């Protein structure tokens, strides 16, 4: 039995115009209208860029879209599966099927709204963070306090800590003089005032006499 040689690329193109899209669909699943819809969409978009769109009835839940084309600088035709329901899962979106077909036969073609990319979500605004202020170390705070005018003479004092404590205690005891002049028990404040006035009067008269004596001597 003689073998029939496979036709060349030119002969194959003459037998069936290329590029050729074939849509196999399961007749038992009643997918003929679905296959016809995809064929109509491909023809309306690519028009004469396609040589043929064929519907091939099949069974077993088949829904496969294949493309037979002649690549540039190639001697034989090539068949590419654009979509397989069992492999890709379910049926394709029309725009996805068009993009896959375009990438093979016309990679540089712009499909307009089919190629429109969904806008990227707006970047979340960066949270404004307050720059942390540098905490001053204890040494810097101490140095700042030493430079204050109120504390400028404290570090230069020749007195030690014990001497300064004694001086502070002496200043704190200034009220003992007034306590010592308090009237003894049983003596009223009026008598004490009279004694003080009498002492002041005597001191004033003595001073005036001394002044007069000095003036006479002069």
**pLDDT score of 7:** 56
Whole-angstrom Cα distance, residue 78 to residue 67?
8
pLDDT > 70 in the chain, percent: 58
Show which of 50, 81, 114 is a domain's final residue: 114
Show which of 87, 114, 141 is a domain's final residue: 114
Among 7-11, 92-96, 122-126, 188-192, the range with the most confident prediction by mean pLDDT is 92-96
145 is a domain residue: no
16 and 72 in a common domain:
yes
124 is a domain residue: no
Q: Which residue, among 12, 36, 13, has the nearest Cα to 24 in the 3D structure?
A: 36
Q: Is the pTM of this model over 0.85?
A: no
107 and 163 in a common domain:
no
122 is a domain residue: no
146 is a domain residue: no
3-class DSSP string for 71-135: CCCCCCCEEEEEEEHHHHHCCCCHHHHHHHHHHHHCCCCCCHHHCCCCCCCCCCCCCCCCCCCCC
**pLDDT score of 4:** 43
90 and 22 in a common domain:
yes
For the stretch 138-183, pLDDT in tens is 667 666 666 666 665 555 555 667 777 777 777 776 555 555 555 5
103 and 36 in a common domain:
yes
91 and 38 in a common domain:
yes
Domain count, the chain: 2
Show which of 114, 144, 174 is a domain's final residue: 114
Q: Decide which of 57 and 129 is more confident.
A: 57
127 is a domain residue: no
- Structural domain harbouring 181: 158-203
36 is a domain residue: yes
């Amino acid at each position: 039995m003689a073998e029939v040689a496979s036709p060349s690329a030119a002969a194959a193109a003459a037998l069936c115009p290329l590029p050729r899209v074939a849509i196999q669909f399961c007749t038992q699943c009643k997918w003929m209208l679905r296959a016809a819809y995809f064929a109509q969409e491909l023809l309306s978009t690519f028009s004469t860029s396609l040589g043929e769109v064929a519907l091939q009835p099949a069974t077993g839940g088949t829904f496969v879209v294949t493309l037979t084309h002649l690549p540039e600088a190639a001697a034989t035709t090539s068949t590419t599966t654009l979509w397989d329901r069992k492999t890709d899962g379910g049926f394709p979106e029309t725009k996805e099927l068009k993009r896959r077909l375009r990438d093979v036969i016309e990679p540089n073609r712009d499909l307009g709204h089919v190629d429109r990319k969904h806008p990227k979500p707006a970047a979340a605004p960066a949270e404004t963070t307050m720059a942390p202020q540098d905490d001053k170390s204890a040494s810097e705070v101490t140095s700042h306090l030493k430079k204050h005018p109120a504390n400028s003479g404290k570090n230069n004092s020749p007195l030690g800590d014990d001497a300064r404590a004694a001086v502070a205690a002496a200043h704190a005891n200034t009220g003992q003089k007034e306590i010592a002049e308090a009237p003894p028990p049983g003596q009223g404040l009026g008598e004490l005032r009279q004694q003080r006035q009498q002492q002041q009067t005597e001191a004033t008269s003595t001073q005036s006499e001394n002044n007069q004596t000095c003036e006479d001597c002069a």
